Chains A and B, each alone.
Chain A
Amino acid sequence: MAGSLRFPVDPHRRTQLRALALVAPLVIYIGVTFIAPLGTMLTRSVYDPVVADVLPETLELLEHWDGRTLPSEAVFAAAAAEIKRAAAARSLGQVAGRVNRVQGGLRSAVTRTARELRDIEVGPWRESMTAIDSVWADPATWYAIQVTGERFTARHYANALDLQRLPDGSLAPQPVERRIYLKLFWRTLLVSTVITLLCLILGYPIAHLIARSPAGRANWLLILVLVPFWTSLLVRTTSWIVLLQTQGVLNDLLVAIGLVSDDGRVAMVYNMTGTIVAMTHVLLPFMVLPLYSVMRGIPPTYMDAAASLGATPVQAFLRVYWPQSLPGVGAGALLVFILAIGFYITPALVGGSDGQLISNMIAYHMQTSLNWGLAAALGGVLLVGVIVLYVVYERLVGVERMGLG
């Protein structure tokens, strides 16, 4: 480096700066595509200024409301003025949607009220509004406005944990027919664990076989693992539908060899079985590859040495091979488990009624109900769950011992 001689700059500093410049694209990339969206989503789960911005005066007056009787005429007047203004500015829809989530039916009531208020110039507002829709005579409506008017709110997290806040401020479980999220969280954990174990049971012998094969054959076997890995997720998932459906290949085979009768075809897809089978297949390479890379580093002579010292094959495997392959098991299991927790296309296609996972609900709230606050809260709960599991896992297995090859 001739240039460095010309400037009185510390050469170490230059190297450091260069190193920084080299990692800068990565840092910026991670910041833009990972940290920033994560941050915005988590913010959304606790911060929601829409109602507070649109109905400031109403909310301020509601602070003095006792919560049981009808609010005063002043509250109605403020609400009427602010609803009119919001309708003209086209910001009422977002308010109506939020209030509706606390008290079903208010969306249309609020927008209808705005339409009818257009022609009303003078009070008394209480009479006119309760005449337009009887919901305004119900304290629950005002409570819903009050709740959604909080800028910083825990209601999305309460909702994500199947809880609701009662007007007296206490938390209570949702009515039984609306409790869904906790159940889905548990199911997601359970399914991910089962899939991780299945991948381990299926992937371990494959990885071992590849690691012990001569180079040429090992390449072919690796390609067999990688080709499905490179194939589109949708193609693989729909192929499982073709194979597993009641009129599908596998059932035809079972009927042909007389194992099941034609009327007794087995339902293997559009249920939990389908989800587990398809997801295990999709995630298997993520188990095989770390296992393979670790196993390749275990010299085969160790097993021979163990045998020559009198160990049975089972003993040699359990006491010599398995402990050395643990870093691969750790890495593969963590990869598969974390990917499984966030899966949603496969369960959506083959899951049927009982194969849905929490990520399907998150997708629903992102795309269909547009309840991004709740989607973010569900994602937040999932994130915390994964971090807790990771810490436990780190204590048990030790992340520094993981080998990704």
Chain B
Amino acid sequence: MNYRFSPFFTTILAILFVVSCGTESSRSITAVSWGGSYGRAVNEGVNIPFMEETGINIQVEDYNGGLAQIRAQVEIGEIHWDVVDLEMAEAVRGCDEGLLEPIDVASLPDGPDGTPAAEDFVEGAMTECGAGSVFFSTVYAYNEESIPGTKPGTIADFFDLETFPGRRGMRRVPQVNLEFALIADGVPRDQVYAALDTPEGIDRAFAKLETIRDEVVWWEAGAQPPQMLADGEVVMSTAYNGRIFNAQVLEDQPFVIVWDGQLMGIGQFVVVAGTPRLEEAMEYLAFVTSAKSMAEIGRRISYSPARRSGMPLVSTHIEKGIDMEPHMPGSPANAAQALRFDWEWWADHQDEMNERFSAWLAR
């Protein structure tokens, strides 16, 4: 037997090595987002124009949220992800933990009318290491065909099994569900988080959830609620508004969104700390957080721009030509019924609430 490496394989290995190094050095970044219809909207509306304009190649990766992978990459010092689309709580936490690059708002492009970026972003959309992307909402929606007669119109109706019998879909996490439960129980929207700050308020939320517990189907992934509504598995379900919009508009599903008590959050674009492609990553960040890019996303899926100047640019849906405004969480009529998701409260109480929620579910 001969144990030496054969020259043939050595050459192949050498070539592979050189080729892999070669792709590293050309201008290319990895942008990580949520996939699905939202990921597609970002890709078509932003990534493709960016690649054409700058010549920087974008590798798209999908993930399911969370800081775990970013943290692992930063700890090991092997950064593969450059720009990531994060949730607010995670963006702030990642910033505190030194996992993300700080972002200077002045480096982001001005609005089309010349308003400086700092003023153009909606309040709370910029954080130390994150630039606001779009507003999305957790709402509840129902299938018109499953509910004959009187239609539900408030959060309280979601918890009203007598008037609207049938199974409900809810995400299997304490977030949003506790807020909805309190609103349904009569707590005014602006006092929801104050109530959650007290043990009595938390008990009250769980007691309200208990009233519909046996009728709830718990979902995990954002794609599930439209599916369950279409199958008739549930008569109504909490869901991300963009997913329901897609089912309504692209698949002609008879779904109706109830905007009462919609829980609004803002997505954050962040840059992973220590990326060797910082310059390209920042260039992409400036591009993707321009009013035009946000509007391009908004023309494909009903998530509102996080810039004031972005909203008027959205106008109509890119394929169907319908007016986007009534479908947007940030439109004046819908925003008037909204509650802003308090990520800070959740960052503080996530662990306890999750243990309590899991224990409650497992009972």
Please list the residues of chain A having a beta carbon within 8 angstroms of any beta carbon in chain B: 18, 21, 89-94, 96-97, 100-101, 104-108, 111, 177-180, 183-184, 187, 245-248, 270, 348-349, 352-354, 356, 361, 364, 366-371
Given known A101-B351, A108-B347, A352-B218, contact A91–B231 (CB-CB < 8 A): no
If A93-B98, A111-B96, A354-B361 touch, whether A369 touches B349 (CB-CB below 8 Å) is no
Q: Are B359 and A354 in contact (CB under 8 A)?
A: no
B67 to A, closest residue via Cβ: A370
Kindly provide the distance from the CB of B32 to the nearest chain A CB, expressed in whole angstroms. 14
Residue of A nearest to B358 (CB): A180
Q: Is B232 an interface residue (CB 8 A)?
A: yes
Query: Which B residues are CB-close (under 8 A) to A106?
Result: 348
Question: In the complex, what residues of A have CB within 8 A of residue B1's CB?
Answer: 18
The reply to whether B359 and A180 form a contact with Cβ atoms under 8 Å apart is: yes
Residues in chain A near residue B204, CB distance under 8 A: none
- The minimal Cβ–Cβ distance linking B349 to chain A, given in whole angstroms, is 5
Q: Which 3 A-B pairs have the closest CB atoms?
A: A93-B96, A90-B98, A93-B97
Q: Which one of A92, A105, A245 contacts B348 once the chains associate, using CB atoms below 8 Å?
A: A105
How distant is the Cα of A247 from the Cα of B233 in the complex, in angstroms?
6
Chain B contact residues: helix, strand, loop or mixed? helix
- CB-defined interface of B41-77 with A at 8 Å, one 1/0 digit per residue? 0000000000000000000000011111001000000
Q: Closest residue to A101 on the B side, CB-wise? A: B351
> With a CB–CB cut-off of 8 A, which chain A residues contact B348?
100, 104-108
Check A89 against B344 for contact (C-beta < 8 Å). Answer: no
Q: Which residue of A lies closest to B3 (CB)?
A: A21
Beyond A96-B96, A178-B355, 19 additional contacts (C-beta under 8 Å) are A89-B98, A92-B96, A93-B95, A94-B97, A104-B348, A105-B349, A106-B348, A108-B348, A111-B96, A177-B359, A178-B356, A184-B358, A247-B233, A270-B218, A352-B217, A353-B216, A356-B361, A356-B362, A368-B65
User: B351 near A369 (CB under 8 angstroms)?
Assistant: yes
A interface footprint on B63-93 (CB within 8 Å = 1, 0 otherwise): 0111110010000000000000000000001
**B221 to chain A: closest residue by CB:** A349
- 27 A–B contact pairs at CB < 8 A? A90-B96, A91-B97, A93-B94, A94-B96, A96-B96, A97-B93, A101-B351, A105-B348, A106-B348, A108-B344, A108-B348, A178-B355, A179-B359, A180-B358, A245-B233, A246-B232, A349-B220, A352-B218, A353-B213, A353-B218, A356-B361, A361-B358, A364-B354, A368-B65, A369-B350, A370-B66, A370-B71
CA separation between A184 and B361, bound complex, in Å?
Answer: 11
Interchain CA distance A348-B220 in the complex, whole Å: 8
User: Is A366 a contact partner of B68 (Cβ separation < 8 A)?
Assistant: yes
Q: How large is the interface on B (under 10, 10 to 19, 20 to 34, 35 or more residues)?
A: 35 or more
> Contact partner of B352 among A178, A352, A354, A371, CB < 8 A?
A178
C-alpha gap A108/B172 in the complex (Å): 25
Residue of B nearest to A180 (CB): B359
A104 touches B359 (CB 8 A): no
- Closest B residue to A360 using CB positions: B358
Q: Does the CB pair B362–A354 fall under 8 Å?
A: yes
B336 to chain A, nearest CB (A): 28
How far apart are the CA atoms of A91 and B217 in the complex, in Å? Answer: 40
| Residue from B66, B220, B344, B348 whose CB has the most chain A CB atoms within 10 Å | B348
Contact partner of B68 (CB less than 8 A), chosen from A97, A105, A367, is A367
Q: B359: which A residues are within 8 A, CB to CB?
A: 177-180, 183
> Which chain A residues lie closer than 8 Å to B351 at the CB level?
100-101, 104, 369, 371
- A370 neighbours in B (Cβ, 8 Å): 66-68, 71
Return chain A residues, CB-CB under 8 Å to B66: 367-368, 370
B317 on interface, CB distance cutoff 8 Å: no
**Separation of A245 and B224 alpha carbons in the complex (Å):** 13
In the complex, chain B residues whose CB is within 8 Å of the CB of A246: 167, 232-233
A163-B48 Cα distance, complex, nearest whole Å: 53
Shortest A293–chain B CB gap in Å is: 32
How far apart sit A78 and B347, CA to CA, in the bound complex (Å)?
Answer: 26
User: Which B residues are in CB contact (< 8 Å) with A364?
Assistant: 354
Using a CB-CB cutoff of 8 Å, which residues 321-363 of chain B contact chain A? 344, 347-352, 354-356, 358-362
Q: Would you call B96 and A247 a contact (CB within 8 A)?
A: no
Contact with A along B1-21 (1 / 0, CB 8 A): 101000000000000000000
Nearest A residue to B352 via CB reads A104
Q: Shortest CB–CB separation between residue A343 and chain B, in angstroms?
A: 15
